[in-house]
Amino acid sequence: QEEPEFFELEMEGEKVIDINVHIGYNHRSIEKIAESKTFDQMVFLVERICGICSTSHPIANCNAVEDLARIEIPERARYIRSIVGELERLHSHLLWAGLAGHFIGYNTLWMWIWKYREPILEIFEAVTGNRNHYAMMIPGGVRRDIKEEDIPFLSKGLDEAERKIDMVTKAVLDDPVLAARLKGVGILSREDAINYCA
C-alpha cells in the first residue's frame, strides 16, 4: 500500500456489499523543511509533493509568494505556466484513465492510453528537460523559455496525441462490452448523495 488511504471492497459481482476504509496520513514534514528554505528552494520541495502533479503545487506556491511580495510576472511567463499546466492536466487525465481501464479489467485500454500519453511526456522532456518534476516554476516567472525552434515539435506532438486520444475515446464510447460492463454500476442516488454529503 503506497498511498495513505486504502479502500478494501467486498463485492458480489458488480455490487459493493461492504467496504473497509483506512484513512491515513503521510506526514513528510514538508512544511517544516520549507521553513529552512529560500523562496526559490521551496519550489523544488513542493514540486516533489506529487510526481504526477509537479506543476500545480509549484504554481500555487509561486502564486502565494508573488501575491505576498506583490510581484507581477511577465505575460510570456503566464503563457508558459498555462501551457505546462495544461500539458500536466492532459498527462494526469491520461494516466488515471489508463489506470481506470486496468481496474475494470480492460488492460488493452490501459496499454493504449499509456502508450498515447507518450507524446505528452516527450513534449515535457523537450520543453523542460524532464518527463516529470519539470522544475519550470520560480517566483516571478519560469526557469526556461519555450524556444521558437521547439514549437513545430510541440505542435506535431499535440496533434498526434489529439488524434490518438480521439481514437481511444471513440473506441471506448462505442464498445458494447464495456458499456454492458459499466451500465448501472456505481450509481449514487440523489438521496444517498445528500445523506453522505457527497
Q: What is the pTM of this model?
A: 0.81
In this prediction, residue 1 has a pLDDT band, given cuts at 50, 70 and 90, of low
Domain boundaries, the chain: 5-195
In this prediction, residue 180 has a pLDDT band, given cuts at 50, 70 and 90, of confident
Q: Name the more confident of 94 and 187.
A: 94
CATH of domain 5-195: 1.10.645.10
Note the pLDDT of residue 27: 77
SS (H, E, C) 16-80: EEEEEEEECCCCCCHHHHHCCCCHHHHHHHHHCCCCCCCCHHHHHHHHHHHHHHCCCCCHHHHHH
Q: For residues 18-45, give the mean pLDDT.
A: 89
Note the pLDDT of residue 9: 86
Query: Residue 42 pLDDT more than 80?
Result: yes
In this prediction, residue 88 has a pLDDT band, given cuts at 50, 70 and 90, of very high
Q: Which of 25-34, 83-92, 134-143 has the lowest mean pLDDT?
A: 25-34
Contacts with 76 (C-beta within 8 Å, 6 or more apart), sequence order: 145
Q: For residues 131-141, give the mean pLDDT.
A: 92
